[in-house]
Each structure stands twice: as C-alpha cells, then as structure tokens.
Chains A and B, each alone.
Chain A
Amino acid sequence: MVNVTLKVNGETRSATVPPETTLLRLLRDQFNLTGAKLGCDVGDCGACTVIVDGKPVNSCLMLAGQADGREVLTIEGLANADHLHPLQKLFEHFGSLQCGFCGPGVIMSAKALLDENPNPSAQEIRDALGGNLCRCTGYAKMIEAIKGASCILRGEEIPAVKSAFVTE
C-alpha cells in the first residue's frame, strides 16, 4: 500500500491505496470526485483530464503514488458557492454539452489553455482539445464557448456573431 497526501481543489487529502491505483481511481473511489470519467483507460479520450500542478494530464495514466505531494484541480474545484466558472456558464449557454460525459475533461483542458493563453485562436483551441474526444456535441459549440469564456475572463464583451469564432 502507498500513502498519498495531495492537495485536491485546495484541500489537503490523504489516502492509503494499493500501488497500482491510478490518480483517476483515487479521485473517484477514495475522494468521491466522480467528475473525471473513465472513458478508455489508456489516455486516448481525455474524459479523465484533471489539472496537476497547472498542467492538464490524463489521470488514468498517472499512478496515485506519482501524484503524492502535488496539487490537483478537478472539475469539482472550478465553481465556487456564488459563481460558475465562465467556462461552465458558457458551455451551458451555448449548448456545448449534450450527453456531458466528455464535458468535465474538455472544460479542464480549456481551463488549462486559458490559464496560459488568455486569448487563444480557434486553431489553438482545437490543438488544446486534441486529446478530448466528444461523440455527441461536436467541437464547434465548445470552441464558441471557450472563445466566449476567454472574452469574459479578459473582461471583454462576447462578440455578437458567435459563428465568427469557428470559421476564423
């Protein structure tokens, strides 16, 4: 068994788990943070994306032991009691989530992108979402929402013609 202590969504949490436990299993089974999903278990689909020390990673490809002492942000840590994160707000507004299974991963990838690049182009967003598969919604509405969220985070108005985002 390995002892793991890490900061999850700002809170220090500990667990003792078998060494073969992945970070995803730790978050879901031990900490009951089921926002990150198991989609493929081999790092292809991105449904398990969480942010570790500022970088989005596939939590299914990281052992819990490797996450010891690190800082993890999951989808559950984005909103606070008063406000949704602009990404969550606009994913809802633009209808960017249908079945929603890929959503937490996509939003975490987008969050990491916007942290580094406050004004990404549509191509940069596509690149950032390259590791997140979606089968229902498609990516156009996600790109709109991420563009819109970047406007809000920069304190700007969201342009009225939203399709301009995608075709740029």
Chain B
Amino acid sequence: MKAFEFFSATNSNHAVALLAQHAANGKVKVLAGGTDLLADLKFSVHGPDVVVDISRANDLKNIAVTDQGLSIGALVTHTQIMRSPVIRDMFPALVDAAHTIGAVQTRNLGTLGGNLVTAVPSMDSGPTLMALEAIVTIASPGGRRQVPLSEFFVGPRKTILKPDELLAEIIIPKQNLGKPTHFLKFGLRKGQALALVNVAGSFWVDWEKNTFVAPRIGLGAVAPKVIRASQAEAFLEGRPITPENMAEAGRIAVNDAKPISDFRASAEYRRHLVAVLTKRALEGAWALAQKKRLEGSNGKRHA
C-alpha cells in the first residue's frame, strides 16, 4: 500500500470537517468498513494522500424509524442489518441482501454506506433500496442535503459525492415501510460471489381487485449502475396479480437491462437471468404479502 496520512473522525461532523480540511490539498479517501477501499489501495498505483477513518463515528451507526421513514446510518454493517429486529420485520429482503454479501468477516466490517459509495453495479444492497425508492442524506461543510438513491449513482464506481461530502444515512421513505419486497441474487457460488444478476421486486396489493399497486423492480449488475426496470413496472401497475403477468414483467424487464459480457457471464445469459429472477422476485414478494396479510400485520399501504 502507498503511504498516506491517516485521520480518525470521532463523529460525522468531525469527519466532514476533516474532509473539508484535506480535500482542498489532495486526494482524500473516506474509510468506513474498508473491505473495498483497502483491497483497492493495495493494488492502486496512485493512492490517496489522506485517508479519513470514519469507523468511529457512532452517530452514523443507528437504525431508527423517524418521521421520514426508516433511517439506516451509513456505517451500519451488513451484520447489523441482518440482526436488526426492525429490518427483519419490515424488510426481510434487506436481510437477505446483506446475507449474500461477502462472508461473516467482511459483513462484520463492511457497511451499507460503503457498499453504496463504492457503486459497483453488482452491489447487493442496491436493488432492494432502489425498489424501495430510498433516499440518501449527504453531509457536507455547507450542511446536509437529500437526494433519491437513483440520482446518487452516476456510473460504475462513480457517485455524485464531492470530495468533501460524506454519505450519512439511507432512508426508506415512510410510504414504503413494510412494503412486501423480495431480493434474489444469482452468483457462481453460494459464498463470496459477485452477483451475475441481482433483482428486487416490491409492490403493494389492492386486495379487493387483487392487483399490483406501485410495483417497483430494482436490477443490479445489468447496467453501468443499479437501475429500476421502469417498463416492467409500468406494465404491472394496476394489473391482476397472476403468474402470467409476473412472467411477462420478467420478459419486459429484459428490455430495461443493458448487460455486458464479461468473464463471469455473457450478456445473453444475464438477460435470461433478468427474466427468470424478476419473475421469481415478484413471486417472492407476493408470497410475503400474503403471509403478512395472514398475520394481519401488513401488505397494505400505510394510511
């Protein structure tokens, strides 16, 4: 690893101050869980001048339901997500997604915020959060701003974050709390594999008409960034919940995807996976909706 200066932030404000102080003078990198960053730094020819360690900023480690919705601090680890009673109850899809990331050791280090900031198209946190229309809060010297996650990603490994900005929290908006969502990932192995394709399907149910309400589909690893399958969503909106419609949505979602061929899979195979996984993700969300309804808890839009 190339030599760099190291500063440890005690909280998010301190982190932002450190970023502001050093971003002007050279390349600064934020270190959260480090599972991506350190692996990168070991191979990079031109490392950063300064690394700001935010792993001690405890104000970024909370999971809470606020006025805005479900707030997940950027430093919440994948293990924390898997064990959070609130998330397990509201969004088993987020738990499933966290479980497919790396292995125990990397999940203990890696953070949700880090996963998003790294912005690799195959990230496992992305599709579910996209399907749930998540919003991110960005902290900067000038204050905080919020943008939809869909605008946060710019391209492979690129986000809108400026050098002196910090991803502070991820919010799943109030109207989507408890929305039945299902996440599926297809990798070449069960453990420690990058996704060839990952998909999250999410929708409310109009139980009287048995139709899709606000269907959302997030697709990963099939475009330069995590995307929504908007054509498939438009097709499902208001249609009856049937296996045929779910399968058709899968076929339409293929048109939303722009996969590439690489050493892991061909574009053609990825398109096939999109169709199959989208259908199955919708089926999973449907099963969850029915289960929630039986339990009398949810499956219906909040008032």
Bound-complex Cα distance A57 to B2 (A): 23
Q: Is the CB of A65 within 8 A of B8?
A: yes
Does A20 touch B at the CB level, under 8 Å? yes
Q: Is the CB of A131 within 8 A of B42?
A: no
Q: Which of A61, A65, A127, A132 contacts B109 (CB 8 A)?
A: A61
Q: Is the CB of A56 within 8 A of B34?
A: no
Q: Which residues of A contact B106 (CB under 8 A)?
A: 43, 58, 61, 131
Q: Which of A18, A63, A68, A130 contacts B103 (CB 8 A)?
A: A130
Measured between C-beta atoms, what is the minimum distance from B65 to chain A in Å?
Answer: 26
Bound-complex Cα distance A132 to B31 (A): 24
Bound-complex Cα distance A62 to B38 (A): 8
Beyond A42-B39, A58-B105, A130-B192, whether A19 also contacts B31 by CB under 8 A is no
Beyond A19-B4, A55-B79, A66-B53, whether A43 also contacts B104 by CB under 8 A is no
Measured between C-beta atoms, what is the minimum distance from B123 to chain A in Å?
Answer: 16
Q: Is the CB of B55 within 8 A of A20?
A: no
Q: Is the CB of B51 within 8 A of A19?
A: yes
Does A2 touch B at the CB level, under 8 Å? yes
Q: Is the CB of B105 within 8 A of A2?
A: no
Q: Which of A41, A44, A65, A112 contacts B53 (CB 8 A)?
A: A65
Q: Which of A42, A61, A127 contacts B104 (CB 8 A)?
A: A127
Q: Which residues of A contact B33 (CB under 8 A)?
A: 61
Q: Is the CB of A43 within 8 A of B35?
A: yes
Q: Is the CB of A20 within 8 A of B104?
A: no
Measured between C-beta atoms, what is the minimum distance from B77 to chain A in Å?
Answer: 9
Which residues of chain A from 7 to 21 have a CB within 8 Å of any chain B CB?
18-20
Q: Which residues of A contact B191 (CB under 8 A)?
A: 130-131
Bound-complex Cα distance A133 to B53 (A): 29
Which residue of B has the minimal Cβ distance to A105? B105
Bound-complex Cα distance A23 to B34 (A): 12
Beyond A57-B109, A127-B104, A131-B104, whether A65 also contacts B39 by CB under 8 A is no
Which residue of A has the minimal Cβ distance to B41? A20
Q: Which residues of B contact A61 (CB under 8 A)?
A: 33-35, 38-39, 105-106, 109
Does A148 touch B at the CB level, under 8 Å? no
Bound-complex Cα distance A55 to B82 (A): 14
Bound-complex Cα distance A3 to B42 (A): 22
Main DSSP-derived SS at the A contact region: mixed
Bound-complex Cα distance A22 to B37 (A): 12
Measured between C-beta atoms, what is the minimum distance from A166 to chain B in Å?
Answer: 17
Beyond A65-B8, A66-B53, A68-B8, whether A20 also contacts B105 by CB under 8 A is no
Which residues of chain B from 32 to 56 have a CB within 8 Å of any chain A CB?
33-35, 38-39, 41-42, 47, 51, 53, 55
Which residues of chain A from 42 to 73 have a CB within 8 Å of any chain B CB?
42-44, 46, 49, 55-58, 60-63, 65-66, 68
Bound-complex Cα distance A2 to B55 (A): 16
Which residue of B has the minimal Cβ distance to A132? B103
Does A6 touch B at the CB level, under 8 Å? no
Does A74 touch B at the CB level, under 8 Å? no
Interface size of A in residues (CB-CB distance below 8 Å): 30
Q: Is the CB of A46 within 8 A of B103?
A: yes
Q: Is the CB of B79 within 8 A of A63?
A: no
Q: Is the CB of A43 within 8 A of B102?
A: yes
Does A33 touch B at the CB level, under 8 Å? no
Q: Is the CB of A65 within 8 A of B104?
A: no
Beyond A41-B42, A56-B105, A63-B31, whether A131 also contacts B55 by CB under 8 A is no
Which residue of B has the minimal Cβ distance to A41? B42
Q: Is the CB of A131 within 8 A of B192?
A: yes
Proximity string of chain B (117-145) to chain A, C-beta cutoff 8 Å, 1 when within and 0 when not: 00000000000000000000000000000
Bound-complex Cα distance A57 to B111 (A): 13
What would 7 more interface pairs be, CB under 8 Å, given A46-B103, A131-B102?
A19-B6, A20-B47, A42-B42, A56-B105, A58-B109, A130-B191, A131-B104
**B contact residues vs A (CB 8 Å cutoff):** 1-6, 8, 31, 33-35, 38-39, 41-42, 47, 51, 53, 55, 79, 102-106, 108-109, 190-192
Residue pairs across A and B with Cβ atoms less than 8 A apart, 27 shown, are A19-B3, A19-B5, A19-B6, A20-B1, A20-B47, A22-B1, A41-B42, A42-B42, A43-B35, A43-B38, A43-B106, A44-B192, A49-B105, A58-B35, A58-B106, A60-B38, A61-B34, A61-B35, A61-B105, A63-B31, A63-B51, A63-B53, A65-B8, A65-B53, A66-B31, A112-B104, A131-B102
